[in-house]
Amino acid sequence: MSETITFTIDGVKVQGAGGQTILQAAQDAGVYIPRLCAKEELSPFGSCRVCTVLVDGRPQTACTYPIAEDMIVESDSEQVAAIRRDIIDMLFVEGNHYCMFCETSGDCELQALAYRFGITAPKFPYMFPKREIDMSHPEIFIDRDRCILCARCVRASRDLDEKAVFQFVGRGPDKRIAVNAESRLVDTNIDVTDEAISICPVGALIRKKGSYAVPYGQRKYDHEPIGSDIEKARKAE
Amino acid sequence: MSTTDTKRIVIEPVTRVEGHGKVTILLDEQKQVTEARFHIVEFRGFERFVQGRPFWEVPVIIQRLCGICPVSHHLCAAKAMDIIVGADKLTPTAEKMRRLMHYGQTLQSHALHFFHLVSPDLLLGFDADPKIRNVIGVIEKFPDLAVQGVMMRKYGQEVIKATSGKKIHGTGAIPGGINKNLSIEERDALLADIDQQMEWARGALKVARDYTVENLDKIASFGSFDSNHLSIVRQDGCLDLYDGNLRAIDAEGNSIFDQVAPKDYLNVIAEEVRNWSYMKFPFIKEIGPENGWYRVGPLARINTCDFIDTPEAEAARKEFMAVTDGKPNNITMAYHWARMIETLHSAEKIQELLNDPDLQGEDLLVTGERRDEAVAIVEAPRGTLFHHYKVNDQDQIVMANLIVSTTSNNEPMNRAVRKVAQDHIAGAAEITEGLLNRVEVAIRAYDPCLSCATHALGQMPLIVELYDADGGLIDKKVKG
């Protein structure tokens, strides 16, 4: 059994297991730390930076930083919220996110985070990148306009589906998600039931059938902000 | 400064219509009208936006071209996508939910137009001081009527919300059906108010009817002219705003064509492009561009249909047709009366549907054999709306063509402007308020939606400019 580590989040003493990241230990304790690239079933990646916290006063990604005895973590403060707000804002302007007709609207983690942080419009200028849509597969499509480069699909395809369908190509602002075959999704061995599709936090990887089938009022984030499930667990205790 | 006597009058933008338009009137040496044009100066882009997008997104994207009757575009695109997914017959629940959505929209759109945009002209007079000839003036002088307008609009929006999820830009209609039924709670909330809506619709119909009948001498020739009329009708000739085949009649009521399936619309309709407007000019092919233009909307629909399948609207239709001895009514201002007949019809249909248990059904979607081309038509509040799409084998839209109702009414609106200009402006030495109002009143009868027709948004101060033949500015007035 791993050792118990005691540390502090926002002034509250929390116990976690050795080897856990701040994000994991906080979640077990009912403290929600926003995240996009992190997912329980995937290995930590640290790309989106939305989970940024202050560890002993320094910004760190909670999804990759291991807990340590007597560590002081600051998550629920205006300073940290401002950092996260800017990061979310940049993710919006870096892509082409048209929530008004996106079929993931209401179920999208990026949109839900924007609502949670009270972002009604980005403060940074839109970059309007030119990105390609891949509709070649009969059951799945990639809309790169909505991709936030979180690499969930890259890791899920490799680690959960054991296929390695996705990878990144390009650098900096030209970085984009690609597939491991020639150039089209239909040329890969992806299957409509693959975890890599359902794990996408936005509307970049979508199954073609069933779009808009869930009416307003029944979508995942229609009634409660993202993270409410984790926070409820703490309140229930 | 030029010495020529030829003058150009510009009204820009035209007020109390949806969107941004401008009118120019050219006068010759004798100050007689040589030409009058209604320009649409906005840019149209939605047919291009949707190219490359998955076809199932179109009903949700395309409705964004308007905030007044987005449901028309939502439903028309959804009907087209039904054809793409091979859903030839929807489930009763899906079809009736969509119809309910459509009647809710017609009710709110007609109410908005009549109570807020038109009533100042009818109730306060064309020549009333513009400071009071607006919706605020109506609220002060006829508070009950103004409140009814607001409440009818609200009710229609609630119907839309119950069927599409949101009051504006919902997602209800999806290819092959609908994504929700009507819950008992939603039904009961709407049923609780329907009697009141019917009462107000009857009242509005009376206002429009009385105005038309009492002022018939004055308005019979106001911006009026003989024209063809076009709409969809049910197979038995009944008025149907949601589905049917095309019917066109001439000014005397003779059939030009009848029961033309939507997919064959290009066999009977063509569009002409003119270099001074972003809006195209559709016409009936068989007659040609010179005389083949036609009117759409409430007036055309009441003229083309053989009957209405709700009792009170049918009684009103008979009274309406009796004014012209059963012949088509070609009076531009009669649009308002026709529009209120449809408002009452919509309320009757909403009541009928709310009492139909099919709306609580669970069977919402059907599919069939995939197709790559589709044409759908609905009767939007402002008239016949055509959506035509082609889809590739990767499910992407490769072609979209929309003929919106205001586009069909383009030539009639130009004719109306010309008629009013000839009757009221010719020979006038200066631009008077009443003169310009009459041009706007004629355009407003068509309830044009310029945002929709060119698919953009606009601000609406009114600028009037008088030019000589060389383009020299002689006179300018600004209001709003």
Chain A contact present for B167, CB below 8 A = no
Average pLDDT, chain A: 94
B50 and B35 in a common domain: no
B61 and B209 in a common domain: yes
Name the residue facing B166 among A101, A213, A216 (closest C-beta). Answer: A216
* Token pair listed for B281: 């000019």
CB contact under 8 A, B394 and A100: no
Rounded to a whole number of angstroms, the distance from the CA of A78 to the nearest CA of chain B is 34
Contact residues, chain B, for A219 at CB < 8 Å: none
Nearest CA in chain B to A140: B394
Contact residues, chain A, for B53 at CB < 8 Å: 133
Name the residue facing B52 among A100, A133, A212 (closest C-beta). Answer: A133
Does a structural domain hold residue B333? yes
User: Is residue B69 a contact partner of residue B382, using CB atoms and an 8 Å limit?
Assistant: yes
B435 and B305 in a common domain: no
B275 and B308 in a common domain: yes
Rounded distance between C-alpha atoms, residue A222 and residue A224, angstroms = 6
* Token pair listed for B28: 């010759």
B341 and B239 in a common domain: yes
Rounded distance between C-alpha atoms, residue B166 and residue A217, angstroms = 9
B305 and B211 in a common domain: yes
Q: What pLDDT does residue B456 have? A: 30
Name the residue facing B395 among A103, A208, A212 (closest C-beta). Answer: A208
Q: Is the dihedral of CA A106, A111, A114, A118 positive or negative?
A: negative
User: Is residue A89 a contact partner of residue A79, using CB atoms and an 8 Å limit?
Assistant: no
Percentage of chain A beyond pLDDT 70 is 97
Q: Which domain holds residue B416?
A: 7-45+411-479
CB contact under 8 A, A214 and B395: no
Rounded distance between C-alpha atoms, residue B171 and residue B159, angstroms = 14
Rounded to a whole number of angstroms, the distance from the CA of A33 to the nearest CA of chain B is 31
Q: Is the dihedral of CA B137, B141, B144, B148 positive or negative?
A: negative
B207 and B113 in a common domain: yes
Contact residues, chain A, for B365 at CB < 8 Å: 213
Q: What residues of chain B score a pLDDT lower than 50? A: 1-5, 451-464, 479-480
Chain A contact present for B73, CB below 8 A = no
Does a structural domain hold residue B240? yes
Does a structural domain hold residue B438? yes
Q: What's the CATH number where B66 sits?
A: 1.10.645.10
**B147-183 per-position pLDDT tens digit:** 999 999 999 999 999 999 999 999 999 999 999 999 9
Chain B contact present for A107, CB below 8 A = no
Q: What pLDDT does residue B1 have? A: 30
B52 and B35 in a common domain: no
Does a structural domain hold residue B110? yes
Rounded distance between C-alpha atoms, residue B87 and residue B71, angstroms = 20
- Domains of chain A plus CATH, in order, are 4-76 (3.10.20.740), 87-207 (3.30.70.20)
B39 and B58 in a common domain: no
Rounded distance between C-alpha atoms, residue B111 and residue B342, angstroms = 10
Does a structural domain hold residue B465? yes
pLDDT band (50, 70, 90) for residue A175: confident
A220 pLDDT above the threshold of 60? yes
Rounded to a whole number of angstroms, the distance from the CA of A107 to the nearest CA of chain B is 14
CB contact under 8 A, A212 and B171: yes
Cis ω for the linkage preceding B13 (within 30 of 0): yes
| ipTM above 0.90 for this complex | yes
Q: What pLDDT does residue B428 have? A: 63
Does a structural domain hold residue B2? no
Domain tally, chain B? 2
Contact residues, chain A, for B396 at CB < 8 Å: 133, 135
Rounded to a whole number of angstroms, the distance from the CA of B339 to the nearest CA of chain A is 31
B117 and B153 in a common domain: yes
B465 vs A202: which has the higher pLDDT: A202
B64 and B16 in a common domain: no
For chain A, the maximum distance between any two Cα atoms, rounded to a whole number of angstroms, is 53
Contact residues, chain B, for A214 at CB < 8 Å: 179
User: How crowded is the C-beta side of B320, counted as CA atoms within 13 Å?
Assistant: 35
B29 and B150 in a common domain: no
Chain A contact present for B169, CB below 8 A = yes
Angle subtended at Cα B204 by Cα B113 and Cα B121, rounded to the nearest 5 degrees: 50
Strands A4-9 and A72-74: parallel
Residue ranges of E strands in B170-251: 173-174, 177-178, 228-233, 245-249
Q: What pLDDT does residue B119 have? A: 86
Residue B12: how many other CB atoms lie within 10 Å: 18
